[in-house]
Amino acid sequence: MPDPNGFLRYDRKLPARRPVPVRISDWREVYPSADEPLIREQATRCMDCGIPFCHDGCPLGNRIPDWNDLVRTGNWATAIESLHATNNFPEFTGRLCPAPCEAACVLGIAGGAPVTIKQVEVEIVNRAFDLDLVTPQEVPAPSGKRVAVVGSGPAGLAAAQQLVRAGHAVTVYERDDAIGGLLRYGIPDFKLEKEHIDRRLAQLTAEGVQFRTGVNVGVGVTAEQLRAEHDAVLLACGALAGRDTPQTPGRPLRGVHQAMEHLVASNRLVNGRESSTPIDAAGKHVVIIGGGDTAADCLGVAHRQGAAGVHQLDLYPRPPHERDEERDPWPTWPWILREYPAHEEGGERVFAVAVQEFVDDGTGQVRAVRIAEVTVEKRDGQRFLTVLPGSERELPADLVLLAIGFEGTEEQPLLDQLGVVRNRRGAIDSDAEWQAGTPGVFVAGDMHRGASLIVWAIAEGRAAAAAIDRYLGGPGQLPAPVTPSAQPLAVPAR
C-alpha cells in the first residue's frame, strides 16, 4: 500500500541540472542521474489515486501508480517490468516527453505540484540498464510471416519489437546511415545521448529485428519489391516536411534555414558522421523563429556552437506561469510558459511578434530581421494577425532558423507507388485497423497523426503492430493502447 501521507511530507523536487558553464562546453545530457533517496522520496508523493488521471494523460496507459510504489519500496526489478509492460522505450520518453501525465496528476489540481513522474520513469530504466535487467526477450516459434517497417523512429521501432516478439520476421528500412530517425539526428545529445539508442538497438537485434540503413524505399527499393518480399508493410516515416514562410520578403537569402537542417547537421558532426557543419552559429547573431521544442533545441545548439547572441521569437503572447482553469481546466494539457534548460543558458525570448522581412546585407546574405508586434486571433480554424502600427524594429541576424512546425509527412515516390495520398494536414489517413487505404499497408506515428509527442508515436506503433498481427492471422494478444482516432485529453468544444 502506498504512503498516504507522502505528498504531505515531501515537496516536489527535481535533481539539479549540470551547471550552465560546464554543460554548454560539451554535448552531454543536461540532467545527471538522480540519487536513489531523492527518487524514492519523489515516488512516495504518489497517492495511488482510486481514479488515476495520469493514465489518461499518457496514451501509452503507463501504470504510473504501480511503478511509483515499487520505486518507493526499492523494488527496481519489478518496476522495470511494470514500465516495460506498456512502454518499449522508457529511456526515450523519460528524457524527451513533455509529460502530459504530470499535467493530469491529481496533485496538480488547483495549482498543486504533481509527482515527478517523468523523472521517476527515467530513473527506473537507468537503474534497469545498470543492473543488467534489460535483456532480449525469448521470441516464439517463427510464424512464417514477414513485415517491412519503413522508418526507424520510435513508432517504427516500437512496432518492430512488438511484431518480432509475436514471432514475425521484421525488417526495418531507414534511408539515413544510422537507425533512430529523429532520435538519432533530430534530437541533440544534450537531451538524448545516442548510447541510449544503441543499447536498445542491441536488444532489438538480439530478438531478431533486421535493420537496413541507407535504403530510400520508393527509390532504392520500389514498393512493388517491398510488397513482393513481405506480407505486410508499416509506414512510419514521420512528419518531416518543415513549415516554411516563402511569402516573407528576403526568404531566399543566405543564412535563412529550416531548423531541422541546423539540428541534423549539428548532430552528424557531434556523432562523428561529418567533420564539419555547413550551418554553424559560432560568433553569429542568431534569430530562432518559433516557440516549441524544436526552437529550444536550436537554442541549446547555438549556445554550444558559440553564438554571439540569440533571440527566440514567438508569435503568441507570453503565456502565464500557472494553468488558466477557464481556458485549460485540469487534467488537460495547459498553455503555460515552458522554460527549457536551454533558456537558462542564455538568449532572449521575444513574444507577440512576427517577422516582416529578412533584411539583405547587399550581397544576398541576411544581416537582420525586421519584426513587428502583433495580435493573433483565430476564427473558423484560421489564424489572423494584426500588426501594431509603429512597432517595427530590427534585430541583428547572421543566421535565422525557422522552427515554426511541420506540414506532415514528406511527398515521396513511395506514396504514389503504394497508392497512398496525403490528407489536407499532410498526414496519411487510416481505417480502424490502421490500414492506409491499400490492403496490407499500415501507417502509424507522426506520419499518421502529424507531428506529435514521442508517447503518441510509441502508442501508435504498438497499436498498429497489434493490427498487423491480427491481419497476419495472429491470436490478437498484442496490446493496442490507442485507436487511430484517439486524441489527447481536451475540453469539449463549446
- The string of pLDDT tens digits covering residues 186-230 is 999 999 999 999 999 999 999 999 999 999 999 999 999 999 999
pLDDT for res 492: 72
Q: pLDDT digit string (tens) for 436-472?
A: 999 999 999 999 999 999 999 999 999 999 999 999 9
Tens digit of each residue's pLDDT (9 = 90 or more) over 320-353: 999 999 999 999 999 999 999 999 999 999 999 9
Residue 494, pLDDT > 60, answer no
Interval 118-129: pLDDT, tens: 999 999 999 999
Confidence (pLDDT) at 1: 63
- In the prediction, which pLDDT does 264 show? 98
How far the first Cα of the chain sits from its last, in Å, is 41
Give the per-residue pLDDT at 37.
96
pLDDT at 18: 97
Collect all residues with Cβ–Cβ distance below 8 Å to 74 and sequence separation of at least 6: 36, 40
pLDDT at 113 over 60: yes
CA dist 143 and 164 (Å) reads: 10
At 50, the pLDDT band (50, 70, 90 cuts) reads confident
Residue 234 in this model has a pLDDT that exceeds 60 = yes
Per-residue pLDDT band for 381 (boundaries 50, 70, 90) equals: confident
Rounded mean pLDDT, 133-144? 95
Q: Which pLDDT belongs to residue 249?
A: 98
Band of residue 298 on the pLDDT scale cut at 50, 70, 90: very high
Helix/strand/coil (H, E, C) string of the chain? CCCCCHHHHCCCCCCCCCCHHHHCCCCCCCCCCCCHHHHHHHHHCCCCCCCCCHHHHCCCCCCHHHHHHHHHCCCHHHHHHHHHCCCCCHHHHHHHCCCHHHHCCHHHHHHCCCCCHHHHHHHHHHHHHHCCCCCCCCCCCCCCCEEEEECCCHHHHHHHHHHHHCCCEEEEEECCCCCCCHHHHCCCCCCCCCHHHHHHHHHHHHHCCEEEECCCECCCECHHHHHHHCCEEEECCCCCCECCCCCCCCCCCECEEEHHHHHHHHHHHHCCCCCCCCCCCCCCEEEEECCCHHHHHHHHHHHHHCCCEEEEECCCCCCCCCCCCCCCCCCCCCCCCCCCHHHHCCCEEECCEEEEEEEECCCCEEEEEEEEEEEEEEECCEEEEEECCCCCEEEECCEEEECCCECCCCCCHHHHHHCCCCCCCCCCCCCCCCECCCCCEEECCHHHHCCCCHHHHHHHHHHHHHHHHHHCCCCCCCCCCCCCCCCCCCCCCC
CA–CA distances in Å: residue 145 to residues 106, 205, 229, 330: 45, 18, 10, 45
